[in-house]
Amino acid sequence: MDWKNKPNMIFNKVKNQMFGKGVETFYYVDIFIKEFDPELTGRLSPHAFNLFMNKVGAFFTIQEIRNIKDLYRSEGQ
């Protein structure tokens, strides 16, 4: 069922979920990210990432989270 988790489909899902929660611009995402990454290191633990995404109204399956992590995994990790 990997075909359901292509990055563009996941990102559209996030956009629709955020819009449904009233988070229409990334201005709010920026405010929320500072709550979970106050020093702006650009790194969140998997737990903090999940809490952050829930705060902006985006809910992922375990496979979607894995696909996102694979997409953004830094070289050398």
DSSP 8-class letter at 40: -
What pLDDT digit, counting tens, does each position of 23-76 carry? 777 777 788 888 888 888 888 887 888 888 888 788 888 888 788 778 777 544
- Rounded mean pLDDT of the chain? 78
- Counting beta carbons within 10 angstroms of the beta carbon of residue 70, is it exposed (0 to 12), middle (13 to 18) or buried (19 or more)? exposed
The whole-model pTM stands at 0.61
Quick one: CA dihedral 22, 16, 12, 35, positive or negative?
positive
What pLDDT digit, counting tens, does each position of 58-69 carry? 888 888 878 877
